[in-house]
Chains A and B, each alone.
Chain A
Amino acid sequence: MTNSIGEIRDADFLFVIGSNTSEAHPIIAMEMKRAVKRGATLVVADPRAIWMSTIAEKHLHINPGTDVWLLNAMAHVIIEENLIDEEFIKNSTENFEDVKEAVKNYTPEEAEKMTGISAEDIRWTARKYATTKKAGIYYTLGITEHTHGIDNVYALSNLVLMTGHLGKPSAGMNPLRGQNNVQGANDAGATPVFYPGYQKVDDKEVQKKYEKSWGTSLSPNLGLNLNEMMKTAGNKIKAFFVMGEDIVLSEPNVLKLEEGLNQMEFIVIQEPFINETTRFADVVFPSGVFAEKDGTFTNSERRVQRVRKAVEPPGNALADWEILVRLANACGANWDYKNPAEIYSEFVKDTPKFSGISHERLDTEIGTGGKTGLQWPCENPSETGTKYLHENGISRGKGLFQAVSFEPSPELPCEEYGLLLSTGRTLYHYNAATQTRREEGLALKQSEAFIEIHPKDAKKRGIAHKEMVEVRTRRGSIEARALYSRQVRPHCIWMPLHFAEARANVLTNDVGDKITGTASYKICAAEVFKLDTKDHSHDIFPGAFFFEESPELEKELS
Chain B
Amino acid sequence: MKLKVNGQFVNFSEGETILEVASKVGAEIPTLCHDARLNPVGACRSCLVEVEGSRRLVPSCYQKAEDGMEITTENDRIERHRKTLFALYLTDQPETREQAEPHKTNEIFEFAERYEAPQNWGKMENIREDREDRNPYVNFEPETCISCARCVRYCDEIEGVSAITLADRGSKTTISTVDSLSLLDTTCEMCGGCIDVCPTGAMGEKIPLTKNAKHERELEKVRSTCNFCGVGCQLELNVDKEANDGKGQVVKVTSPPVGETTNDGNLCVKGRFAYEFINHEDRLTEPLVRGEDGQFYPTTWENALEVAAKGLLGVAERHGADSLGFVSSSRCTMEENYLVQKLSRAVFKTNNVHQCAAT
Contacts and interface: CB of A to CB of B under 8 A. Distances in A.
Contacts of A185: 328-330, 332, 334, 337, 355, 357
B262 interface: yes
**Residue among B274, B306, B342 with the most chain A CB within 10 A?**
B342
Contact of B274 (A241, A283, A442): A442
A27 B239 contact: no
Given A219-B349, A344-B334, A519-B359, A301 B262 contact: yes
Contacts of B158: 30, 33-34
A237 B228 contact: no
A325 B305 CA distance: 11
27 contacts: A5-B231, A24-B229, A27-B268, A28-B231, A145-B359, A178-B357, A180-B230, A181-B332, A184-B330, A190-B341, A192-B353, A223-B322, A224-B322, A250-B356, A265-B311, A268-B312, A283-B290, A296-B334, A307-B227, A316-B285, A316-B301, A321-B339, A324-B343, A435-B227, A441-B136, A445-B190, A519-B359
B232 A299 contact: yes
Interface string A269-306: 00111100000011111110111111111111101111
Given A239-B315, A244-B332, A439 B338 contact: no
Contacts of B355: 185-186, 190-191, 226, 245
Nearest to B239: A310
Contacts of B230: 25, 176-183, 299-300
Contact of A308 (B137, B222, B278): B222
Given A227-B358, A244-B329, A295 B336 contact: yes
B261 A190 contact: no
B195 to A, nearest CB: 13
B321 A219 contact: yes
A297 B353 contact: no
Interface string A484-527: 00000000000000000000000000001000111101000000
A372 B234 contact: yes
A300 B340 contact: no
Interface in A229-268: 229-230, 233, 236-245, 247, 250-252, 265-266, 268
Contact of A226 (B226, B264, B312, B356): B356
Contacts of B314: 265-266
A310 B359 contact: no
Contact of A316 (B229, B287, B328, B347): B287
B358 A333 contact: no
Interface SS of chain B: mixed
A311 interface: yes
A512 B157 CA distance: 41
Given A188-B334, A219-B350, A330 B278 contact: no
A243 B306 contact: no
A214 B278 contact: no
Contact of B315 (A227, A265, A516): A265
Contacts of A290: 224-225, 227
Contact of B337 (A184, A222, A373): A184
Given A25-B229, A286-B286, 13 more contacts: A24-B229, A26-B268, A27-B267, A180-B229, A180-B232, A218-B345, A241-B326, A245-B329, A268-B311, A289-B278, A327-B305, A438-B277, A439-B277
Given A289-B227, A295-B335, A347-B334, A303 B301 contact: no
B184 A307 contact: no
Contacts of B274: 430, 435-436, 439, 442
Nearest to A232: B325
Nearest to B227: A290
B88 to A, nearest CB: 34
Contact of B283 (A226, A241, A317): A317
Given A233-B325, A266-B315, A227 B222 contact: no
A295 B333 contact: yes
A27 B233 CA distance: 8
Contacts of A188: 334-335, 337-338, 341
Interface stretch (B54-62, B75-83, B242-250): B242-250
Contacts of B244: 311-312
Given A180-B225, A325-B339, A219 B345 contact: yes
A13 B312 CA distance: 52
A158 to B, nearest CB: 24
B224 A282 contact: no
Contacts of A222: 351
B222 A179 contact: no
A153 to B, nearest CB: 14
Nearest to B226: A180
Contact of A201 (B283, B313, B351): B351
Contacts, number: 481
Given A27-B233, A181-B337, A237 B325 contact: yes
Contact of A311 (B266, B278, B315): B278
A312 to B, nearest CB: 4
B84 interface: no
A439 B273 contact: yes
A320 interface: yes
Contacts of B250: 291, 310-311
A187 B268 contact: no
A318 B237 CA distance: 19
Interface in A312-369: 312-318, 320-321, 324-328, 330-333, 337, 340, 343-344, 346-347
B330 A210 contact: no
B44 interface: no
Nearest to B294: A279
A308 B280 CA distance: 20
Given A300-B230, A325-B339, A284 B296 contact: yes
B270 A436 contact: yes
CB-CB nearest 9 A-B residue pairs: A315-B285, A299-B232, A295-B333, A177-B230, A223-B351, A244-B329, A441-B136, A286-B284, A26-B268
Contacts of B286: 286, 315-316
Contact of A247 (B207, B307, B327, B351): B327
Interface string A2-22: 001110000000000000001
B289 interface: yes
Given A179-B229, A191-B354, A438-B280, A244 B338 contact: no
Contact of B276 (A313, A428, A439): A439
B89 interface: no
Contact of A179 (B157, B318, B342, B357): B357
B160 interface: yes
Contacts of A233: 325
B285 A241 contact: no
